[in-house]
């Protein structure tokens, strides 16, 4: 069994100093890297950077790609050698895209742990479209609200059939080919990766604390938007929408009659506050955003109906959420508090970078979360 789950909120040790470590997030449009170390009991930001992958596919900066493993290795090597970023460590963890995984919450009858371990792979076959032998499988029992211990289990370890309570189990699977591909990338770049982690768990670590009430996380990537509901530090629901910031760029290009390169620049520089030939970018961008947020609301309503619980907050992360004006559109779509995720709050950084890090923070939620886990491993 693979180990995809970690103690997301374990506190760091109080060692005075530690080796520098990297958190690496390889997306469809860019690679993001964060380097941190621990000093005087605090995680300290040393450097961070982003490398666009578009040029490696003959495309523009910001455009989504589907690079071969060889091209990704080339790009990662270039990133590690980039003088302006000044990466000095090889110790790292690497995030794996949510799209490369399969997650499901399944119900199981209460039974002894050993028996549960035998039954879950059998039950998981219903949710995994490939043979179990072709995936690395992990699972986690979701604690009950009032009593994490399973009720109704007698001395024999098995509850009566007539009163058999149910357990909710989060099952996660990664295809073996994905793991092999990432291991090969690590070897060719001479990195020292101690783990691969599905990106949602990295994001949770970097932007959440010990919130009890359900939180909705919206991660707006280039080609897709991931929707997660997290309760008490546990992933309860996940959903992917096949629209992202690349769709916004394409719509701007078509509507405004400009090149994709110019549309990407306009999106990044002006966001929803731009205007060309009397056409406001807000009118174009809002169409895609409203679709994404509407889908997110459907996920929230389904969760509320199933568990009779209200989501208390929406947190936006990902490159798309860093665009100017996105937060305001989100606030009009949800009836609850909406904030931008700021993973750099978890690290110590120079005061003069505060505003810059706050603006770019949503893009680095995954990379920061990976780096924090790698740092925890040294304590």
* Gap between the Cα atoms of 217 and 161, Å rounded: 38
Four-residue CA torsion sign, 197, 203, 207, 211: negative
State the pLDDT confidence band at 146, using cuts at 50, 70 and 90: low
What's the rounded Cα separation, in Å, for the pair 186 and 179?
Answer: 11
Contact at 8 Å (CB) between 22 and 374? yes
The C-alpha atoms of residue 252 and residue 279 are separated, in whole angstroms, by 10
**Residue 173: beta bridge partners?**
102, 137
CA 96 to the chain's CA centroid? 9
- Examine the pLDDT at 347 and tell me if it is beyond 90: yes
In this prediction, residue 211 carries a pLDDT of: 85
Assign 43 a pLDDT band (cuts: 50, 70, 90): very high
- pLDDT of residue 9 exceeding 80, the answer is no
Strand, helix or coil for residue 283: helix
Rounded distance between C-alpha atoms, residue 239 and residue 243, angstroms: 12
The answer to whether residue 70 scores a pLDDT higher than 60 is yes
pLDDT higher than threshold 80 for residue 1: no
Share of the chain above pLDDT 90, in %: 72
Contact (Cβ atoms closer than 8 angstroms) between residue 203 and residue 219: yes
Closest listed residue to residue 203, CA positions, set 167, 227, 222 = 227
What does 1-51 look like in DSSP terms, one character per residue?
A: -------TTPPP---SB---EEEEEE-SSEEEEEEEEEETTEEEEEEEEEE
Residue 228: which pLDDT band, with cuts at 50, 70 and 90? very high
Higher pLDDT: 188 or 141? It is 188
Domains of the chain: 101-173 (3.30.1490.300)
Residue 131 pLDDT: 87
Residue 300 pLDDT more than 70?
Answer: yes
List Cα–Cα distances, 109 to 115, 157, 161, 163, 373, in angstroms: 11, 12, 9, 10, 33
| pLDDT tier, 219 (very low <50, low <70, confident <90, very high otherwise) | very high
Whether 37 contacts 20, CB under 8 Å: yes
Name residue 140's beta-bridge partners: 170
How many CA within 13 A on the CB side of residue 301?
8
pLDDT band for 220, please (50, 70, 90 cuts): very high
Q: Is the pLDDT of residue 14 over 90?
A: no
Model pTM?
A: 0.87
Residue of 246, 238, 135, 203 lying closest to 365 (CA atoms)? 203
Confidence of residue 174 (pLDDT cuts 50, 70, 90): very high
- What is the pLDDT at residue 235? 92
Q: Please give the average per-residue pLDDT across 365-379, as a whole number.
A: 94
Q: What is the pLDDT of residue 7?
A: 36
Burial class of 176 by CB neighbour count within 10 A (0 to 12, 13 to 18, 19+): middle
pLDDT bracket for residue 20 (50, 70, 90): very high
Quote the mean pLDDT of the chain.
Answer: 88
For range 47-59, the mean pLDDT: 94
- What pLDDT score was predicted for residue 278? 85
CB neighbour burial string for 9-42, b if at least 16 within 10 angstroms, e if fewer: eeebeeeeebebbbbbbbbbbbbbbbbbbbeeee
What is the percentage of the chain residues whose pLDDT exceeds 70?
Answer: 90
CB 220 within 8 A of CB 29: no
Confidence of residue 4 (pLDDT cuts 50, 70, 90): very low
* 254-274 mean pLDDT: 92
Residue 358's pLDDT band (boundaries 50, 70, 90)?
very high
Can you spell out the DSSP letters for 237-279?
EEEEES--HHHHHHHHHHHHT--HHHHHHHHHHHGGG-EETTE
Alpha-helix residue ranges (DSSP H) falling in 22-141: 69-81, 113-124
Of residues 313, 370, 375, the one with CA closest to residue 338: 313
pLDDT tens for 87-107 read 999 999 999 999 899 888 889
* The pLDDT value given to residue 153: 37
- What phi and psi values does residue 166 have, to the nearest 5 degrees? -110, 150
Q: What is the Cα–Cα distance from 13 to 239, expressed in whole angstroms?
A: 35
């Amino acid at each position: 069994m693979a180990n995809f789950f970690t103690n997301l909120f374990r506190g760091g040790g109080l060692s005075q100093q530690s080796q520098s470590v990297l958190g690496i997030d390889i997306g469809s449009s860019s690679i993001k890297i964060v380097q941190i170390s621990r000093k005087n009991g605090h995680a300290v930001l040393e450097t961070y950077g982003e490398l666009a992958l578009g040029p490696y596919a003959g495309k523009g900066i910001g455009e989504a790609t589907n690079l071969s493993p060889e091209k990704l290795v080339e790009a990662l090597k270039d990133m590690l050698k980039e003088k302006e970023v000044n990466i000095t460590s090889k110790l790292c963890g690497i995030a794996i895209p949510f799209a490369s995984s399969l997650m499901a919450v399944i119900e199981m009858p209460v039974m002894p742990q050993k028996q549960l371990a035998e039954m879950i792979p059998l039950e998981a076959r219903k949710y995994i479209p490939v043979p179990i032998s072709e995936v690395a499988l992990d699972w986690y029992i979701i604690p009950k609200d009032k009593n994490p211990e399973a009720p109704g289990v007698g001395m024999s370890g098995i509850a009566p059939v007539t009163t058999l309570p149910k357990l909710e189990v989060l099952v996660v699977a990664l295809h073996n080919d994905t793991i092999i591909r990432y291991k090969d990338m690590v070897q060719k770049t001479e990195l020292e990766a101690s783990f691969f982690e599905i990106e949602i768990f990295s994001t949770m670590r970097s932007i959440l604390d010990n919130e009890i009430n359900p939180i909705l996380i919206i991660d707006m990537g280039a080609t897709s938007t991931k929707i997660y509901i997290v309760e008490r530090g546990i992933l309860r629901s996940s959903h992917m929408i096949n629209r992202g910031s690349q769709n916004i760029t394409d719509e701007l290009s078509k509507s405004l009659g400009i090149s994709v390169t110019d549309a990407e620049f306009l999106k990044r520089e002006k966001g929803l506050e731009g205007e060309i030939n009397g056409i406001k970018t807000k009118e174009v961008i809002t169409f895609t955003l409203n679709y994404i947020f509407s889908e997110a609301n459907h996920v929230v309503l389904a969760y509320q109906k199933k568990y009779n619980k209200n989501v208390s907050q929406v947190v936006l992360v990902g490159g798309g959420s860093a665009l100017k004006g996105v937060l305001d559109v989100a606030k009009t779509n949800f009836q609850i508090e909406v904030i931008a995720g700021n993973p750099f709050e978890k690290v110590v950084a120079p005061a003069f970078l505060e505003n810059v890090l706050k603006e770019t923070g949503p893009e680095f939620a995954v990379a920061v979360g990976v780096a924090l886990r790698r740092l925890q491993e040294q304590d």
